[in-house]
Structures are given as structure tokens and as C-alpha cells.
Amino acid sequence: MIDLSVSLNKNLVLSNPILTASGTFGYGDELADLLDINRFGGIITKSISLEPRQGNPDPRIVETPAGMINSIGLANIGLDAFLREKKKFLSHLRCKVIVNIAAKTEKEFCEVIQRLNDEDWISGYEINVSCPNVKEGGIAFGTDQETLQRLTKNIRKITDQYLIIKLTPNVTNIAQMAKIAEDAGADAVSLINTVYGSAIDIYTRKPRINSTIGGLSGPAIKPIALANVIKVSGAVRIPIIGIGGITTGEDVLEFLIAGATAVQLGTVNFMNPLALYGMLDFISDYLNQQGIDSISQLIGSLQK
Ligand SMILES: Cc1cc2nc3c(=O)[nH]c(=O)nc-3n(C[C@H](O)[C@H](O)[C@H](O)COP(=O)(O)O)c2cc1C
């Protein structure tokens, strides 16, 4: 028997290392007829904010040769509706449920967390300090060292819940940002959120996306994400959750070997929402062929 489970420490064990990436899988219920969600190690919800948000005007998604650019702007149903409408479905899942949180201010982050702290079906929070598509909050929290440190410390003070800080690659030194999050009390870091990107229609000379510059995701960013995981794994001891352009089982294994304990699937959910099944089969076959009985033996096994 091959053991696909991985431990993210602090009693958070996933049945396999594959999670969904925030904003690419809704709140899970929308896709429940399509696949068995419990086959994921866990799901990460769309970012939730205190109040509902409309997000940015259209067009807010554009396809690119190896991925997409989005400028959704954190559209979401807000905390009240989340608990009212999504809790029933999410709290009955057997896989882990991690709630991704976005906010305009530090106070808002703390308010959302205080409201969620008693929800025992939640296995962790992922704090989105890396959204490139909003004017207030978002990436501003994750690009300034002092702000990131203060926010992480303040969140740590009000919760014992598993705490993941989701980092942006749009900084000079992501390893330093990861270390700051670790020292301030984060239990894990996830990376990467989208990379700044743009696309222009040469006939109208207008940007193809309303915000002109949005967030690039998908296979185009996989090598960037992998390099960032390698950099961060040399800087922190807490688990790393790798994200960016993962579309195959081979990609998942690359991220684990690079130093990630788990990974998230994002843009691939728009291309093939059933990709998970093929990935799990590929990984089991690979481990069998290699004579490895536990996937955790691969984590950080990069031979330089
Ligand atoms: C349409 C879309 C919406 C997203 N919304 C969120 C979000 O609400 N919160 C968040 O933290 N990340 C969000 N992301 C970023 C993804 O979670 C992920 O970090 C990024 O897309 C890179 O992974 P990928 O290349 O596998 O898509 C979004 C990405 C896309 C494509």
C-alpha cells in the first residue's frame, strides 16, 4: 500500500497533497456533481471578506497562450452568506476545508477570523496578502515587510487555528517575506499567487482586461512558481504549499521534490476539472515504479 498522506504539522494531515486553489473552485458545491471532492486532500475556498464584494467590471478574464490573466477583484458573497449558504455543504466534507480570507484592512481580517474561530469544521485559514487586482488591501499586505509582520502577528494573537500566509511572487525577495511570516507565527506559507500580466487588442489598442494589468496564472507561471518554492524552502522550516501552473501528476511531484509539502490546483480546474484523478493515478504509479512507499519521502528531496 502506498501512503499518499502528508502532514502539515500541528495535527493537520491531508489524505493526499493536492488541494484546490482559492478562486478557481468556488465554494466546492458548484463542482460537487462533476467529481468526488473528497478525493482532494482538501479544498481552499474562494476568498471571503466581511462584506460581499462585486469585484471588478468585465472583461475580467482573458486567455493567454499558456494560461490566463484575471482581474476578478475578489468578488465574493461575504461572510454572512458564506456561513448561511455554504457551511452545510462544506462542514460535511471528509477532506479538509481551509477558508481563504481577504480584507481591506487589518481590522477586517481580524473580524472575519474572530467570527470563524468557533467553526470546528474549518481546518485552517489561508490569508490572502497577495491579490494583485484590488485597490485596497490585497497585495499591499504582502509586499511590505512591516505590514506583513504586523498583520501575521496580530492574526496569530487572536487564533490558534492553522494559519497559512499566501505570498505573492511580485516582490524582490519572496524568501524574506516567507521568513517574516514564519517568525511572526504562520504555520505554513503558500505560494505563488498570480504574476502581474497584461494583454492588448491591437485593433482597438485597448487592454483585453478591464484593469489593464491583471494576474497571470496557468502553465506559463509554473517554472516561476517552482523557482520560488526552491528559494523559500531554503529559508523557512514551516511547510510550503506550492501553487502555480500545475496541470499534471508530474508537476505535483516536481513541487514536492522542490520542497513543497502540498500543492494547489488553480487554472487547471478551468481546463479540466477532473485532472485530479489522473494526477493521483500517475503519482501512485510513479511511487510504485520508484519503490517508494510514502509520498512524504519525496518532499524536499531535490538533488542539486
Ligand atoms: C480566476 C481566478 C480567481 C482567483 N481568485 C483568488 C482568490 O479569490 N483568492 C486567492 O487567494 N487567490 C485567487 N486566485 C489565485 C489562485 O489561487 C492561484 O494562486 C493562482 O491562480 C496560481 O495558480 P494556477 O497557476 O494553478 O492557477 C485566483 C486565480 C484565478 C485564475
pLDDT of residue 137 exceeding 80: no
Name the active-site residue from 69, 112, 127, 131.
131
Mutate to test the pocket of ligand 1, among 22, 77, 126 (most ligand atoms within 8 A of CB): 22
In 3D space, the residue among 96, 95, 88 whose CA is nearest the CA of residue 126 turns out to be 96
What are the extents of the domains in the chain?
6-55+74-196+217-298
When pLDDT is averaged across residues 194-213 and rounded to a whole number, the result is 97
Q: Is the peptide bond before 192 cis (omega within 30 degrees of 0)?
A: yes
Residue 66 DSSP one-character state? T
When pLDDT is averaged across residues 163-173 and rounded to a whole number, the result is 96
Query: Ligand 1: does its nearest atom lie under 6 Å from the Cβ of 23?
Result: yes
pLDDT at residue number 87: 98
pLDDT of residue 256 exceeding 80: yes
Least confident residue range of 35-44, 132-141, 157-166, 168-177: 132-141
CATH topology of domain 6-55+74-196+217-298: TIM Barrel (3.20.20)
When pLDDT is averaged across residues 273-297 and rounded to a whole number, the result is 98
With contact defined as beta carbons under 8 Å apart, do 112 and 79 qualify? yes
Q: How high does pLDDT run on average in the chain?
A: 96
When pLDDT is averaged across residues 200-204 and rounded to a whole number, the result is 98
Query: Ligand 1: does its nearest atom lie under 6 Å from the Cβ of 266?
Result: yes
pLDDT tens-place string over residues 76-89:
999 999 999 999 99
pLDDT at residue number 187: 98
pLDDT of residue 304 exceeding 90: no
- Residue 134: pLDDT band (50, 70, 90) is confident
How many Å apart are CA 107 and CA 154, to the nearest integer? 9
Atom of ligand 1 lying closest to residue 44 CA: 17
pLDDT at residue number 245: 98
**Alpha-carbon torsion 57, 58, 64, 67, what sign?**
positive
SS3 state at 243: strand
When pLDDT is averaged across residues 7-32 and rounded to a whole number, the result is 97
- Residue 101: pLDDT band (50, 70, 90) is very high
How many Å apart are CA 59 and CA 47, to the nearest integer? 20
pLDDT at residue number 280: 98
Q: Please name the helix (run of DSSP H) or strand (run of DSSP E) that holds residue 18, with its range, or none.
A: strand 18-20
How many Å apart are CA 192 and CA 167, to the nearest integer? 6
Which parts of the chain fold into alpha helices (H)?
A: 78-81, 87-91, 106-116, 140-143, 145-158, 174-183, 222-233, 249-258, 268-271, 275-290
How many Å apart are CA 289 and CA 211, to the nearest integer? 47
Q: Supply angle C-alpha 38, 112, 39, rounded to 5.
A: 5
Angle between helices 249-258 and 222-233 (to 10 degrees): 30
Query: Ligand 1: does its nearest atom lie under 6 Å from the Cβ of 104?
Result: no
pLDDT at residue number 133: 77
